[in-house]
Amino acid sequence: MTVAMGYETKTATAREAALSAYCSYRRNGADPGEKLAALVSDMPARDVALAKRVLTGMIQNTALIDYYIDFFSSIKPKKIEPLVLDILRLSVYQLAFMSKIPHNAAVDEGVKLAAKNANPRAAGFVNAVLRKIAHAAESHELPLVAGDGAESVLSVKYSHPQWIIREFRASFGEAGAEALLRANNADDVLITSQVNTLLTDADEAVRALEADGVTVRRHGWLDDCLDMSGTGDVTRLDAFKRGYIYIQDAAARLAAYAAGPEPGMFVIDGCAAPGGKSFASAIMMGNKGRIAAFDLTAEKLRRIDGGARRLKLGIIEAVHRDAGARNGDYRGGADIVIADVPCSGMGVIRKKPEIRYKSERSLDGLPEIQKRLLQSLSAYVKPGGVLLYSTCSLLTRENREVVDWFLENNSEFNKETFTMPHIGEIKDGCCTLLPHIHGTDGFFICRMRRGTGG
């Protein structure tokens, strides 16, 4: 496999693949995970793991890495050639955060990358900076972060923009916010799957996964939920091909649990792709009833339909529909409507670290979109039915403020108490799941019921 970096095309090593994916992300906003997956598809599992770890770590810790570079370099980071700066970032991450990689190896590989892909003088500069940082790391003398105020320090220490830190501190307090920031930068986040109990049980799913070399452990408190590592391409696993599992975080699984689907019900999943909540609902319903899974794009609908076929869930119909445009065919007919609406994704930073770098302004229009979708989808709930609102955001303006607006304008709906495994009774109908407390993605769930007189 080859990757294009700098001025030439080179045979990819794990580090080159990570660097190429990072460069693509920096230059044009390309999804770094998808880019890397394409680059490492034929690499040994060990190299794939290294590439993923380095790429994720660079993105998670960019501000702190740049702080170290600024401290030890004679040239400020903003004035360093972008590709050279990226090579430094890749190497400094290994020096400062990866204790199992010898420092001399990290330095040497960084110098080689610079010699191959950057300008002729870059290798000497990279060598000088990295040797200073390697010596500091070996001596445990990397500089402590200093700044003007707590938010400034946290912003560098955890590489989150200050506006996110302000939001988290306002919602979760100073200690809670820092714990959340720390969880967002964890380097050991596992892939979570749910067992399709219509085809198998957890024991058999575990055996199938282990036969493919996957390390599996049962989730600590959610039945039929498995945490996995060493999966490689999940779609190649026998357990996946057989329909024994589907990929879904515990938080998203709990959202479907909170909706409470039962056999024979009619459920609408309003913004369904990639289909996890529809799959979870169908399994809870024993594949008896009806689920209409809405989405707008043909590709997403194909993914939902393909997943349902793989899992042998015949009650799911992938429907091409704009969730924000009401349709009389479904009005007042659904026992449950799931409104898992588009959001900022601020609850899944631990899995997609680049999300933290979204500009605050780019998110300004989301609450209005969420209100429109929730309002529109609510029309499909039958009298006495359930409306489940959820997001993978931790921003109040996308969660409780949207729900409060909706309830103020729709008096026939009320929040409803429900219970969830491990967490217990949710008395006010709203629950926020947090990575540092629950070990899940950050997620907001609100269960509402329509009155029978509405």
Q: Options 3.30.70.1170, 3.40.50.1980, 1.20.1260.10, 3.30.565.10; which CATH number does 191-247 get?
A: 3.30.70.1170
Q: What is the mean pLDDT of the chain?
A: 95
pLDDT digit string (tens) for 127-182? 999 999 999 999 999 999 998 899 999 999 999 999 999 999 999 999 999 999 99
Q: What pLDDT, on the 0 to 100 scale, is given for residue 70?
A: 98
Q: What pLDDT, on the 0 to 100 scale, is given for residue 326?
A: 79
* Model confidence band, residue 7 (pLDDT cutoffs 50, 70, 90): very low
H helices, E strands: number in the chain: 17, 16
Long-range contacts of 143-150 (CB under 8 A, 24+ apart): 143/67, 143/68, 143/71, 145/64, 145/67, 150/174
Q: How far does CA 233 lie from the centroid of its chain?
A: 17
Q: What pLDDT, on the 0 to 100 scale, is given for residue 169?
A: 97
Domain range summary for the chain, segments of one domain joined by +? 2-138, 157-184, 191-247, 253-450
Q: What pLDDT, on the 0 to 100 scale, is given for residue 10?
A: 42
- Token output for 231: 């999966």
Q: Give me the CATH topology for the region 253-450.
A: Rossmann fold (3.40.50)
Q: Is the pLDDT of residue 213 over 90?
A: yes
Long-range contacts of 66-74 (CB under 8 A, 24+ apart): 67/143, 67/145, 67/156, 68/92, 68/96, 68/133, 68/142, 68/143, 69/129, 69/133, 71/143, 72/129, 72/132, 72/133, 72/136, 73/129
Contact 106, 141 (CB under 8 A): no
pLDDT (mean) for 353-363: 96
Q: Is the pLDDT of residue 4 over 60?
A: no
For the domain 2-138, what is the CATH superfamily, name and number? NusB-like (1.10.940.10)
Least confident of 35-44, 242-251, 287-296, 408-417: 35-44
